[in-house]
Structure 1
Amino acid sequence: MPAERLHLVRHGEVYNPDHVLYERIDGFGLSDAGREMTRAAARHLADRPVTRLVSSPLQRTQESSEPFTEQFGLAPVLDERVIEPWNAFAGKRMKKAVLNPLNWRFLINPSKPSWGEPFTSIASRMLEGMAAAWDETSTGDVVIVSHQAPIWIAHLAVAGEKLSHSPTTRRCALSSVTSFTRRADGSFEEIAYAEPAAGGIDLGAV
Structure 2
Amino acid sequence: MLTAPVRTMILMVRHAEVHNPKDIVYGRLPGFGLSPRGEIQAERVARFLSARNADVIYTSPLLRARQTASVIAGQSNTATVRRSKSLIEVLTGYQGSPNSILVGGFSFYTPVKREGDESMDDVLRRMTNFLSLVIKRHAGEEVIAVSHADPIAILRLGLEGKPLTVENLHSVVYPERVSINQIVLGPDHVPQLTYFDVVRSMETAA
Specify the TM-score bucket, using the shorter chain as the normaliser: 0.7 to 0.9
Over 3 Å counting, the alpha-carbon distance change for 1:183 and 1:138 in structure 2 is closer
Is structure 2 residue 112 aligned with structure 1 residue 114? yes
Contact kept in structure 2, 1:22 and 1:91, CA below 8 Å: yes
Counterpart CA distance in 2 for 1:95 and 1:188 is: 39
Contact kept in structure 1, 2:180 and 2:195, CA below 8 Å: yes
Counterpart CA distance in 1 for 2:137 and 2:33 is: 29
Is structure 2 residue 36 aligned with structure 1 residue 38? no
Structure 1's unaligned 5+ residue stretches are 99-106, 200-206
CA displacement at 1:139 relative to structure 2: 4.1
| Alignment equivalent of 1:7, drawn from 2, 7, 11 | 11
Q: In structure 1, what is the equivalent of residue 180 of structure 2?
A: 177
Is structure 2 residue 86 aligned with structure 1 residue 81? yes
Q: In structure 2, what is the equivalent of residue 92 of structure 1?
A: 97
Q: Which runs of 4+ in 1 moved over 6 A?
A: none
Q: Deviations over 1:26-84 (max 9, x none)?
A: 01000011011112112222222100110000000000001221122433111101100
Q: In structure 1, what is the equivalent of residue 204 of structure 2?
A: none
SS at match of 1:62: helix
Q: In structure 2, what is the equivalent of residue 103 of structure 1?
A: none
> Which residue identity lines up with residue 65 of structure 2 in the other structure?
T
Structure 2's unaligned 5+ residue stretches are 202-206
Q: In structure 1, what is the equivalent of residue 55 of structure 2?
A: 51
For normalisation by structure 2, the TM-score amounts to 0.82
> Which residue identity lines up with residue 133 of structure 1 in the other structure?
V
Farther-moved stretch of structure 1 (71-80 vs 25-34): 71-80
Contact kept in structure 2, 1:68 and 1:74, CA below 8 Å: no
Q: Count residues with an aligned counterpart.
A: 189
CA displacement at 1:140 relative to structure 2: 2.9
SS at match of 1:50: coil
Counterpart CA distance in 1 for 2:34 and 2:7 is: 30
> Which residue identity lines up with residue 159 of structure 1 in the other structure?
E
Q: In structure 2, what is the equivalent of residue 191 of structure 1?
A: 193
Contact kept in structure 2, 1:178 and 1:190, CA below 8 Å: no
SS at match of 2:138: coil
Counterpart CA distance in 1 for 2:102 and 2:187 is: 46
Q: In structure 2, what is the equivalent of residue 162 of structure 1?
A: 163
Q: Give aligned-pair identity as a percent.
A: 24
